[in-house]
Amino acid sequence: MSARAFHSVLDPIGPHASAIAQLWWVMLWTTGIVFVVTMVFFGIAIARGRQGRPRAEHSPRAVTTVVSSAVALTVVILFGLLVASIWTNRVTASTGGAPAIAIEVIGHQWWWEVEYEDQEPSRRVIVANEIHVPTGRRVVLKVTSRDVIHSFWAPNLQGKRDLVPGYTTAIWMQADKPGVFRGQCAEFCGRQHAHMAFTVVAEPEDAFERWREAERQPARDPQDAVAQRGRDVFMTTKCAGCHTIRGTAAAGQVAPDLTHLARRAALASGILPNSASHLAEWIANPQAFKPGNQMPPNPMASEDLSALVAYLQTLQ
């Protein structure tokens, strides 16, 4: 799984994104042709003016006919684009039957909280910045924000949707092909707006169910001494006050859930690959990577830091 996932509106992998891409092509071709035709007439007019030819005499009636035809054609073209746009809107807003799964997406400065709904509360899954979906199935996203307005945008899958604090809206999406697709916050939300990325991992239904079942499990206790020391560091320093690791005493609610951190491809909302060295650098000084984010620097002895990283890497 790559943290360098690609995103493109013109590479749609689902019905909603396909409608948007079609509208893009219709608009490009229509306005492109209008531009070329206009430039041709413009060029003819300039060429005639340069040749110093006397202006041909046209009857006022002929001029009126030409101008009104051009105006009528413009109105027809604009109306056609309006219809295409409304049709696209209908497709992107369509639910298309009952969704297979419902996912709550909550925007934070500057990361994404992702919670898979389940009728049994103990079977709910909470992750961050990485959204897994089964291919070929409708998924409903219920989006909101905890602080400022963000915008959820996975260009290969759907249009943008604002995340408004205190207000939840729903969008449907569907991935018809497996793959890892990049998404991005699309509404300026503060200093690290550009570093608020996420990935959508589309995988066949059985692989998705295996992933979700593994995410449901609480964290396993570390077996080796170094990782056990790292766990103690986590529980006795500031870490546990902000982060949750299910199965342990850490139950902080303001930062990403780390129960299965080691299974994620990226750290810090897509800006760093999830490796031991990046974890250590991030924990020591998150402000060096994302100035202004809510995680403070964590000065600690280097043995403590490497033990902490060793523990976090056991969170499979």
Which residues in this chain contact ligand CUA in the complex, by CB under 6 A? 107, 110, 150, 185, 187-189, 193, 196
Q: How far apart are CA 26 and CA 78, in angstroms?
A: 12
Q: From the CB of 188, what's the least distance to ligand CUA, in Å?
A: 6
Q: From the CB of 17, what's the least distance to ligand CUA, in Å?
A: 20
270: left (phi over 0), alpha (psi -120 to 50) or beta: left
Q: From the CB of 163, what's the least distance to ligand CUA, in Å?
A: 8
Q: From the CB of 257, what's the least distance to ligand CUA, in Å?
A: 19
Nearer to ligand CUA, 255 or 307 (CB): 255
Nearer to ligand CUA, 106 or 305 (CB): 106
Nearer to ligand CUA, 109 or 156 (CB): 109
Q: From the CB of 166, what's the least distance to ligand CUA, in Å?
A: 16
Query: CB–CB of 179/207 below 8 Å?
Result: no
Nearer to ligand CUA, 195 or 229 (CB): 195
Q: From the CB of 193, what's the least distance to ligand CUA, in Å?
A: 4
Residues 6+ apart with CB under 8 A from 260: 127, 214, 215, 219, 315, 316
- For 18, the token pair is 């396909």
Q: How far apart are CA 179 and CA 160, in angstroms?
A: 20
Amino acid at 143: V
Matching residue, tokens 């006795």:
236
Nearer to ligand CUA, 143 or 258 (CB): 143
Residue 226: what are its φ and ψ, rounded to 5°?
A: -65, -45
Q: How far apart are CA 316 and CA 215, in angstroms?
A: 9
Q: From the CB of 151, what's the least distance to ligand CUA, in Å?
A: 7
Q: From the CB of 111, what's the least distance to ligand CUA, in Å?
A: 9
Nearer to ligand CUA, 248 or 294 (CB): 294
Nearer to ligand CUA, 107 or 134 (CB): 107
Nearer to ligand CUA, 189 or 240 (CB): 189
